Structure 1
Amino acid sequence: GDSGDGVASVVLVDQSEAMLAVARRKWLSMIGGDGDGDGEGAGAGAVRTVVADATALRGERDGSFDTVVDTFGLCSCGDAARQLREMQRVCRRDGGRVLLLEHGRAHYDWLNRWLDRDAPEHARKWGCWWNRDIVRLVEASGLVVESSTRLHFGTTYMIVARPGASAHEGDGG
């Protein structure tokens, strides 16, 4: 069931059940849906939550999503490169998009030195490595960047990408 705005359903993934409950409530209040998740004419209200590590979405088929969105997730996962490859794997090759809102290394060396100096303590307190090289990670993943905007001295990244030519090779897709 397509809601008319192009969204048939939403799948929310997080390792925390509590965060998924918050995200589900926010999504449903934003779109005014019932969230029955049955996919039967529910439109954008069809929401499914999955407790999983985003580096291994075992229950999702290759190319099963039109759009994959990640907001400030690469900083807090153990293997950001693997997470990007997994997002690419589950994203549809023909016309699919991976949307990233992330933070990481800055445009300026003086700021990167500060980020690097305080990164271990920040990660210990908050679970976030705020000094990751997002550009290098995205390029190495094989994603093809269609647009990229950087804000806040270059530490905030808004990236629109698509799966590369080899996104599903060797994955059965």
Structure 2
Amino acid sequence: MGRSIVVAVDGGEESIHALTWCLQNIVVVGTTADEASSDSGGGVTGDTVVLLYARPSPSVYPAMDGSGYLFSSDIIASMDNYAKHLADTVTQKAKMVCSSYPNLKVEIKVQNGDPRDVICEMVEKLGADMLVMGSHGYGPLKRAFIGSVSSYCAQNVKCPVLIVKKPKN
């Protein structure tokens, strides 16, 4: 039986690099039905890659902003549509990277919420065997102010975590 490998994607180059590295170095791709029937060992069951995108929670907007203008329902609907479109774009880009690996089992999960919480909760819920994430490579000062999702997840999930750093070149 294959493993379940969750790969956190966010549309950045770092997450696509981590996905590509994972596919080239970690994932075992399944065999076709013909190959499995000719294999004396009963066939190889490949890994499943779960592409996970954490979409920021829909914001709750007050009836008026600070300058006294009203937010119309059209503006709020437009912002929600943009968030959905962004999620579709990110997941389709990641799925396209996976398409060059025939017989690879790919699942897509999009969840609303803070990326730290979404990733940790989904890894637990799915019973993942491994979590793969990219690293933005922030220095200690920037990490102190905005935090590091990969560091948080590495400390809080119960499965192995692979953080792939994109080379500077």
Same fold (TM > 0.5): no
State the TM-score, normalizing by the size of structure 1.
Answer: 0.38
State the TM-score, normalizing by the size of structure 2.
Answer: 0.38
Q: Greater relative contact order: 1 or 2 (C-alpha under 8 angstroms, separation 6 or more)?
A: 2
